[in-house]
A and B are shown apart, each in its own frame.
Chain A
Amino acid sequence: MDFGLKEGRQFPGLQTKRGSEAEETIAADWNVFHLKDEIVAVRVEKVAAKLPPLILDQIRHQARHDGAIFACGRNAFAKLRQVDADDLIDRCGLDVDKLLASIETPPHSIIIISRLIAGDAKKYAADLADALQFLLRNPGFGYSNRAKLDRGNGLARADHPETLPQHPDHLLERHVQRLERSDTRRSGSFPQFDASKGYSGCKQHDRSGCGRSIRARPLAIRQDFLRLLQPGITWPVPNVWGDICTTRLAICNFTDRQQTTCALATSNNFPAEFWPADDASASRHLRRTGRGIWISRVEPLKGTGLLAALASARQADRFHIFGPLQDDPERMGLNAPNIQIHDLVSDVSATDFTSYVAFIFTSLFEGMPNIVLEMSQHAIPMVLADIGGLRDTFDEDAVVFVKHLDLENDTARAFSRALDQHRQSVAAAFLPGDP
Chain B
Amino acid sequence: MTDITVTVIFHREGALALPALASMRDLVDHTRSLGLSVEARAVLDRPDDLTRHIVASRGDWLCAPEEIEFDDLGLSRNAGVQAARGKFLAFLDGDDLWGTDWLYHAHNAAISKNIDAIWHPQILYYFCETDFKRPPSGSLPDTRAQSYYLRHASSDEERFNQDALFLNNIWSANVFTTQSIHLRYPYDCVDRTKGFGIEDWSWNMKTLWEGIPHHVVTDKVHLIRKKSSGSLGQ
Bound together, the chains give a CA A234 to CA B223 distance in angstroms of 34
Query: Which one, A72, A115, A193, A227, contacts B141 given CB within 8 A?
Result: A72
- Using A72-B147, A80-B149 as known contacts, say yes or no to A100 and B139 having CB atoms under 8 A apart: no
Sample (21) of A-B pairs whose CB atoms are under 8 Å apart:
A55-B122, A69-B97, A70-B127, A71-B131, A71-B147, A73-B131, A75-B136, A75-B139, A76-B136, A77-B147, A80-B147, A81-B149, A86-B170, A88-B167, A91-B168, A96-B167, A115-B195, A116-B195, A192-B167, A224-B196, A236-B166
Query: Which one, A191, A233, A251, contacts B209 given CB within 8 A?
Result: A233
Query: Which one, B145, B147, B205, B225, contacts A227 given CB within 8 A?
Result: B205
Bound together, the chains give a CA A100 to CA B164 distance in angstroms of 10
Q: Are B152 and A85 in contact (CB under 8 A)?
A: yes
Q: Are B221 and A88 in contact (CB under 8 A)?
A: no
Bits for B114-151, please: 1 = Cβ < 8 Å to A, else 0: 00000000111101111110111011111101111111
Chain B residue contacts of A274, Cβ below 8 A: none
Say whether A144 faces chain B, with CB atoms less than 8 Å apart. Answer: no
Can you name 17 extra interface pairs (CB under 8 A) apart from A73-B139, A86-B161?
A: A51-B149, A62-B19, A62-B100, A66-B19, A73-B135, A76-B141, A77-B147, A83-B150, A84-B151, A85-B151, A86-B153, A86-B170, A94-B168, A96-B163, A114-B195, A114-B196, A222-B196
Q: Are B141 and A192 in contact (CB under 8 A)?
A: no
Say whether B22 faces chain A, with CB atoms less than 8 Å apart. Answer: yes
- Using A68-B129, A72-B131, A81-B149 as known contacts, say yes or no to A58 and B166 having CB atoms under 8 A apart: no
Q: Are B140 and A99 in contact (CB under 8 A)?
A: no
**Distance from A433 Cβ to chain B, minimum over Cβ atoms (Å):** 20
Query: Which one, B122, B135, B164, B206, contacts A88 given CB within 8 A?
Result: B164
Say whether B10 faces chain A, with CB atoms less than 8 Å apart. Answer: no
B residues at A contact (CB < 8 Å)? 18-19, 22-23, 26, 97-101, 122-125, 127-132, 134-136, 138-143, 145-153, 159-164, 166-168, 170-171, 193-198, 201-202, 205-206, 209, 219-221, 223, 225, 228-229, 232, 234
Q: Are B136 and A255 in contact (CB under 8 A)?
A: no
Q: Are B205 and A80 in contact (CB under 8 A)?
A: no
Query: Which one, A68, A76, A223, A255, contacts B140 given CB within 8 A?
Result: A76
Chain A residue contacts of B220, Cβ below 8 A: 55, 58
How many A-B residue contacts, CB cutoff 8 Å?
Answer: 193
Query: Which one, A48, A84, A228, A253, contacts B166 given CB within 8 A?
Result: A228
Q: Are B163 and A97 in contact (CB under 8 A)?
A: yes
- Using A58-B99, A114-B196 as known contacts, say yes or no to A52 and B201 having CB atoms under 8 A apart: no
Query: Which one, B100, B134, B229, contacts A58 given CB within 8 A?
Result: B100
Q: Are A189 and B234 in contact (CB under 8 A)?
A: yes
Bits for A212-235, please: 1 = Cβ < 8 Å to B, else 0: 000000000011110110001110
Q: Are B193 and A253 in contact (CB under 8 A)?
A: yes
Chain A residue contacts of B162, Cβ below 8 A: 236
Q: Are A55 and B123 in contact (CB under 8 A)?
A: yes
Bits for A292-322, please: 1 = Cβ < 8 Å to B, else 0: 0000000000000000000000000000000
Say whether A199 faces chain B, with CB atoms less than 8 Å apart. Answer: no
Chain A residue contacts of B149, Cβ below 8 A: 48, 51, 80-83
Bound together, the chains give a CA A155 to CA B166 distance in angstroms of 24
Bound together, the chains give a CA A222 to CA B165 distance in angstroms of 12
Q: Find the residue from A61, A75, A81, A190 having the highest chain B CB count within 10 A.
A: A81
Say whether A117 faces chain B, with CB atoms less than 8 Å apart. Answer: yes
Q: Are B150 and A52 in contact (CB under 8 A)?
A: no
A residues at B contact (CB < 8 Å)? 10, 48, 51-52, 54-55, 58-59, 61-62, 65-66, 68-73, 75-88, 91-92, 94, 96-97, 99-100, 114-117, 121, 188-193, 222-225, 227-228, 232-234, 236, 251, 253-255
Query: Which one, A59, A65, A190, A224, contacts B125 given CB within 8 A?
Result: A59
Bound together, the chains give a CA A428 to CA B166 distance in angstroms of 32
Q: Are B206 and A96 in contact (CB under 8 A)?
A: no
- Using A59-B125, A100-B166 as known contacts, say yes or no to A69 and B151 having CB atoms under 8 A apart: no
Bound together, the chains give a CA A51 to CA B141 distance in angstroms of 15
Chain A residue contacts of B229, Cβ below 8 A: 188
Chain A residue contacts of B18, Cβ below 8 A: 65
Bound together, the chains give a CA A236 to CA B163 distance in angstroms of 6
Query: Which one, B139, B142, B170, contacts A85 given CB within 8 A?
Result: B170
**Distance from B155 Cβ to chain A, minimum over Cβ atoms (Å):** 9
Q: Are A188 and B228 in contact (CB under 8 A)?
A: yes
Bound together, the chains give a CA A48 to CA B148 distance in angstroms of 11
Q: Find the residue from A51, A52, A84, A97 having the highest chain B CB count within 10 A.
A: A84
Closest to A232 in B: B209
Bound together, the chains give a CA A91 to CA B153 distance in angstroms of 14
**Distance from A276 Cβ to chain B, minimum over Cβ atoms (Å):** 24
**Distance from A260 Cβ to chain B, minimum over Cβ atoms (Å):** 11
Q: Are A73 and B163 in contact (CB under 8 A)?
A: no
**Distance from A290 Cβ to chain B, minimum over Cβ atoms (Å):** 29
Chain B residue contacts of A232, Cβ below 8 A: 209
Chain B residue contacts of A254, Cβ below 8 A: 193-196
Bound together, the chains give a CA A233 to CA B165 distance in angstroms of 13
Chain A residue contacts of B138, Cβ below 8 A: 75-76
**Distance from B21 Cβ to chain A, minimum over Cβ atoms (Å):** 9
Q: Are A84 and B153 in contact (CB under 8 A)?
A: yes
Q: Are B198 and A224 in contact (CB under 8 A)?
A: yes
- Using A65-B22, A192-B167 as known contacts, say yes or no to A81 and B148 having CB atoms under 8 A apart: yes
Chain A residue contacts of B170, Cβ below 8 A: 85-86
Bound together, the chains give a CA A75 to CA B125 distance in angstroms of 15
